[in-house]
Amino acid sequence: MKPEKQIKFPVFTSGIIQYTIVLLAITIVVFLCRPLATQQGYHIVSFILLFVVSIMAAFLGIGPILLASTISALVWNFFFIPPHFTFNIAATEDKFMFGSFFIVALVNGVLTNRIRRQEKLVREREYQTNALFQLAEELSKARSIERVLEVARGNFKNLFNATSFFILQDGNKNLGSYNQHVNEPFAEIVDTDIVKWVFQNSRKAGKYTDSFPDSSLTYYPLKGAQLNPGVVAIEFNKSVYEKNDAFWFAYFTQVSNALEREFLGELALKARILNESDKLYKTLFNLISHEFRIPIATIMGASDTLLMSHTSERNREELINEIFKASGRLNHLMENLLNMSRLESGKISIHLDWCDIIDLLNKVVKTLKLELEKFQFVSEISPEMPLAKLDFGLMEQAVYNLILNSCQNSPAGSTIRFEAEYENGFLVIQVEDNGPGFPPDTLDKVFEKFYKVNNSKSEGLGLGLSIVKGLAEAHQGTVKAENLLTGGARFTISIPTEIPDMIEIKLE
Amino acid sequence: MMNESNTILIIDDETQIRRLLEISLTSNGYVTLFASNGKEGLTTAATFNPSVIILDLGLPDIEGLELLVRLREWFTKPIIILSVRNSEDDIVSALDKGANDYLTKPFRSGELIARIRSAIRISNEKGDKPVLDFGFLSIDLVNHVVRKKDEIIKLTHTEFSLLSLLAKNQGRVLTHQFLLKEIWGYSYLEQTQYLRVFIAQLRKKIEDNPSKPELLITESGIGYRFGE
């Protein structure tokens, strides 16, 4: 609900104009009524004069109305009550008439004027209530400090045609200007000394007030229930300023409360993030110190032994092999950590391109050749499988992690199955194994970072599956884990994708 | 002895990597030259005109890709990038700017030696042989005939162009964009689905086991390489 534009009472603001109108109106009435009076008698003129005075009372201030009442009484006497052109009144009844005319004109004018003022006040109140209501409604929807400021500024501009400038504290009572970018030229006229004074003393200052009246802006403190968000500086004209203090207090309290709400929300969020990252840091630290130490110890020990001259040829070869394996393991750890942090920071850029899933799987199988040797690997992809729009490298990594996970958790000789199909706009990839599956209560945790089932001794940081999740999500897709009735686990990645219009492809 | 075909200039600022490369390259019969920054690299390359340059992208003075461009202004022999940067974007842009090959650190020395060999071979073989022979597969570039174990394989015109382009650059990664531009033309630069379909078709025709391709090797997110 939007309050209407304020109706301007009185229309004639300047005093001189009002008095001129009074004199003019009465002169015209006198001039017009002269012929009428000769025909109909002078009493009718008094009614016309009374009528004109009460009409004027609806538009003019109290001063001009008093003047109008007096002059109209005198004029009636002078021009119309016999003897004409004197202030003498011959008849006694006319003396009464004159007296009552004067009183009626006066009372009529004053009362009309008072009603009008009352009405104006009521309108003003309604307007203010609407303004507050509208502000409250808009502020309740604003869900960030920036948005609250935007709403407050917009509302202020709309209703009072005044520019407002918010200077907020940073949470440690340091005032920084929050919205310089919004109205740059205005920012320069904000006086930081006054802002500080207002913030510290929690009192209004600046133009139209007792403190710093030379300033071009008026400054109000923003007071919240628990903290004071800052100060607002406003450039407005006197008539707007002269709304009552209670209104401005209510208005700015609303803004303050909304700001405070968002302030506290942000602080709570920061605290939570800090807390979580602290927890993560500890987990990571423990894992890294453990997981990295083993391969490093292997490399150091093996190379140290190699440096001693009396090592047999066979042992040398074995030691070199150990170094090679350990470095591979370190590399894998590092890649996983890097990938995780890239995914989390959103720094992975995803290049969707047409991919051949068969080609992708073949690549993964080739990379995992050694690990897969111990298993029966079955892949079920229809030869008609269409190309899918994916990031080849990232999806390759996801499939790699899933198959590697199965290899690490399944007994030698068991079957690992890979399936891929295109189904109603989704590419669905499944990897199944015949391992122990997951304890039922852990199914929703397996994709968490650094999570290892039963703190299993298996090597690695517990990042592989969370990377799969991150990669699937980077493709707007999902991944889920479930236990098979026959034992073993099944992972399903589904990713929304398009398929190419094959007719378009010229096969020549 | 330094001769035309076995001098390798390594531009890398890390001492350990330089030492490692020195050992593995010299034990494979190459002569090594070193530069630890871009400026030194430029002057050493100009003075000795090595047969291959191995370039690290993270040099202290000149941005690696810029150095690559500056070297390419006159240096026509192979440049192999050896870098810790492993994003597809970095690799593709280095290949597009004239690098012949790209290996990411950590790398396997055996892999590096193989890449150096094939890079040298490709750059020496520019005398356009009429027939490319890969043992069980031969490609007759003049008569457009492909034989697998002496059996003629029917290829469409596009299939043949794609295969011979990759084969002529055996061992070298050709990016998707490059292949699309060469075979289909500029307006097809985004149409990777053509490439995927044709590679799959070619594999079925020429590979012994299309699910374990050994000739047409996929380089994830980058392009294809004709295997050794």
**Cα gap A267→A273, rounded to integer Å:** 10
Q: Domain check: are A305 and A315 in the same one? A: yes
Q: Report domain extents, chain B.
A: 7-124, 131-226
What was the pLDDT predicted at A426? 92
* Beta carbons of A354 and B221 less than 8 Å apart: no
Residue A419 lies in a domain: yes
Element (H, E) at A444: none
Both A335 and A247 in one domain: the answer is no
pLDDT (tens digit, 9 = 90+) per residue, B50-73?
999 999 998 999 999 999 999 999
Average pLDDT over residues B85-96: 89
Domain C-terminal end among A269, A286, A316: A269
ipTM confidence score: 0.82
Do A164 and A250 lie in one domain? The reply is yes
Q: Flag whether pLDDT at B151 surpasses 80.
A: yes
- Statement to judge: residues A412 and A450 lie in one domain: yes
Task: Write the CA distances from A267 to A143, A145, A270, B23, integer angstroms.
Answer: 14, 12, 5, 57
Task: Tell me what percent of the residues of chain B surpass a pLDDT of 70.
Answer: 96
Answer yes or no: is A394 within a domain: yes
Angstrom distance (rounded) from CA A285 to CA A208: 61
Predicted local distance difference test score (pLDDT) of residue A172: 67
Q: Which homologous superfamily does the CATH classification assign to the domain defined by B7-124?
A: Response regulator (3.40.50.2300)
Task: Write the residue in B157, B197, B199 that is nearest to A505 by C-beta.
Answer: B197
Is residue A21 domain-resident? yes
| Nearest residue to B32 (alpha-carbon basis) of B20, B40, B43 | B20
Q: Determine the pLDDT at residue A8.
A: 44
> CATH number, domain at A311?
1.10.287.130
Chain A residues within 8 A of B176 when measuring between CB atoms:
353
Same domain, A212 and A319: no
Nearest by CB to A505, from B193, B212, B218: name it.
Answer: B193
| A366 part of contact set with chain B, CB < 8 Å | yes
Q: How far is CA A250 from CA A1, A140, A224, A322, in A?
A: 19, 15, 12, 75
CATH number of the domain where residue A421 is located: 3.30.565.10
Residue B182 has pLDDT above 80, yes or no: yes
* Same domain as A494, residue A396: yes
Residues A436 and A496 in one domain: yes
- Among residues A344, A366, A383, the one where a domain terminates is A344
Question: In terms of domains, do A208 and A323 share one?
Answer: no
pLDDT value for A168: 81
Are the C-beta atoms of B121 and B171 separated by less than 8 Å?
Answer: yes
* Mean of all residue pLDDT scores within chain B: 89
Do residues A124 and A48 share a domain?
yes
| Per-residue model confidence as pLDDT tens digits over A285-299 | 777 777 788 889 899
With a cut of 50, which residues of chain A have pLDDT below it?
A: 1-11, 179-184, 508
Residues of A in contact with B90 (CB under 8 A): none
pLDDT, position A2:
41
Could you give the number of structural domains in chain A? Answer: 4
Residue B173: is its pLDDT beyond 80?
yes
Q: Which candidate from A356, A366, A508 shows the least CB-CB separation from B156?
A: A508
Stated as kind and residue range, the H or E segment containing A289 is helix A245-307
With CB atoms and an 8 Å threshold, state whether A508 touches B157. yes
Residue of chain A with shortest Cα separation from B188: A505
What the block records as the tokens of A467 is 């990377």
**What span, in angstroms and rounded, lies between the C-alpha atoms of A103 and A358?**
106
Instruction: Kindly state whether residue A7 falls inside one of the protein's structural domains.
Output: no
**What range defines the domain where residue A337 resides?**
271-344
For residue A334, the chain B residue with the least C-alpha distance is B106
Subunit contact B193:A349, Cβ cutoff 8 A: no
Question: Which pLDDT score is estimated for A67?
Answer: 85
| H or E stretch covering A4 | none
Nearest chain A Cα distance for residue B223, angstroms? 11
Q: Are residues A169 and A75 in the same domain?
A: no
Put simply, the answer to whether A507 touches B213 (Cβ < 8 Å) is no
B31 or A168: which leads in pLDDT: B31
**Does residue A315 share a domain with residue A371?**
no
Size (chain B), residues: 228
Nearest beta carbon to residue B211 from set A362, A387, A500: A362
Q: Is the pLDDT of residue B149 over 50?
A: yes
Token duo for residue A481: 């884990």
- 3-state DSSP call for residue A452? coil
The answer to whether residue A310 sits within a structural domain is: yes
CA nearest neighbour of B58 among B43, B38, B74: B38
**Mean predicted confidence (pLDDT) in B99-119:** 90
Query: Which regions of A229-368 does DSSP assign to beta strands (E)?
Result: 230-235, 353-355
Please list, in sequence order, all residues whose beta carbon lies within 8 angstroms of the beta carbon of residue A206, skipping any fewer than 6 positions away. A191, A194, A198, A212, A213, A215, A216, A217, A218, A219, A233
What does the alpha-carbon distance between residue B82 and residue A95 come to, in Å, rounded to a whole number?
A: 119
DSSP state of A417: E
Query: Which residues 140-179 of B have a C-beta within 8 angstroms of A?
Result: 156-158, 176
Look at residue A179 in the predicted model and tell me its pLDDT: 47
Domain B131-226 -> CATH class: mainly alpha
A9 falls within a domain: no
The DSSP call for residue A437 is -
| Residue A68: inside a domain | yes
**Where is the domain boundary, A117, A135, A153?**
A135
A379 and A488 fall within a common domain: yes
DSSP chain B: ---TTTEEEEE-S-HHHHHHHHHHHHTTT-EEEEESSHHHHHHHHHHH--SEEEE-S--SSS-HHHHHHHHHTT--S-EEEEES---HHHHHHHHHTT-SEEEESS--HHHHHHHHHHHHHHHHT-S--SEEE-SSEEEETTTTEEEETTEEE---HHHHHHHHHHHHTTTSEEEHHHHHHHHT-GGGTT-HHHHHHHHHHHHHHH-SSTTS-SSEEEETTTEEEE--
